[in-house]
Amino acid sequence: MVGSMGNRKSAGHLAALFTIIIWGTTFISTKVLLVDFRPVEILFFRFVMGFAALLLACPHRMKGVGRRQEMTFALAGLSGICLYYLLENIALTYTMASNVGVIISVAPFFTAMLSRLFLKSEGKLRANFFIGFVVAMAGIALISFNGFEMELNPVGDVLAVLAAFVWACYSILTRKISSFGYPVILTTRRTFFYGILFMLPALFLFDFKIGSERFADVTNLLNLLYLGLGASALCFVTWNLAVKALGAVKTSVYIYMVPVITVVTSVFILKEPVTWVSAAGTALAVAGLFLSEYSGKRVEKEDTENGFTE
């Protein structure tokens, strides 16, 4: 039993790492698509593709869903699919991308705080988690502001904080959904459905257009498929699997790795130079991740001794 639990944890860590690697590279596809697409159009198309892919992968219906469970799915779709991405995209129109990158990385801290309020099974938070958070944020700040001066913009920065908080809410809701006992593909598809549904009013606000001629461009089509099938359909499933195996807090700290993946991708794909600042920031972000995960292992041991189960 101990061995099977260890295998489940290892699979959870691999799923989280795989997800973050993909999510950390999506900026390239998004950057390419922004030439012909508005941010809300990219968002809508990628999740519609993701929903269609999950429907094809598992066409079965969810049965016996109660009203409270349905509400949980709706809130997860509203927070993690609709509000998070809209807030992030709108924040980018008001403030620097570097600001948004740093602020969004506060999400694990919000997740930890919310988990203490709503998820008793997540265990106690130790000093190592907060030390890891500070170390990781220092590294992420070095990466994000490398060669740039920080410019505060209240509107954009507040929106980015709200986006981080909303993602933390999604993480808690995902943890709750994992306790329902339904297959992850079905729960992810249900969440996508509500996310798309809540996204519809925003399409009118941001002058959404189908523009089918844009899909004739092979580059646009491939990048949309990467975002829709890879970063959305596949990665939301693997992320939810990681949350189910590890818990909301320990999975969320992998968000610290997103700027690191971005730096590595920029070096190998965009041929951007490596500076000592970005290298130091990468080292600190990784160190912060390991510090936070070490804290999680200690908590896990204490939870087992105290009778906590997941």
pLDDT of the residue at 138: 85
Q: Tell me what pLDDT residue 106 has.
A: 82
Per-residue confidence in pLDDT tens, the chain, 310 aa: 555 666 888 899 999 999 999 988 887 788 788 888 888 898 999 999 999 999 999 998 888 888 999 999 999 999 999 999 888 878 877 876 666 777 787 888 888 888 878 876 556 667 787 888 888 888 877 776 665 555 556 777 888 889 989 999 999 999 999 989 899 999 999 999 999 999 999 888 888 888 888 988 999 999 999 999 999 999 999 999 999 998 888 898 888 888 788 777 777 776 767 777 778 887 888 888 788 766 444 444 434 333 323 3
Give the pLDDT of residue 146.
63
Domain residues for the domain of 120 are: 2-306
Q: How many domains does the chain have?
A: 1
**DSSP result, the chain:** -HHHHHHHHHHHHHHHHHHHHHHHHHHHHHHHHTTTS-HHHHHHHHHHHHHHHHHHH--PPP-S--HHHHHHHHHHIIIIIIIHHHHHHHHHHHS-HHHHHHHHTTHHHHHHHHHHHH-GGG-PPPHHHHHHHHHHHHHHHHHHTTTS-----HHHHHHHHHHHHHHHHHHHHHHHHHTT---HHHHHHHHHHHHHHHHHHHHHHTT----GGGGGSHHHHHHHHIIIIIIIIIHHHHHHHHHHHH-HHHHHGGGGGHHHHHHHHHHHTS-PPP-HHHHHHHHHHHHHHHHHHHHHHHHHHHHHHHT---
pTM for the structure as a whole? 0.81
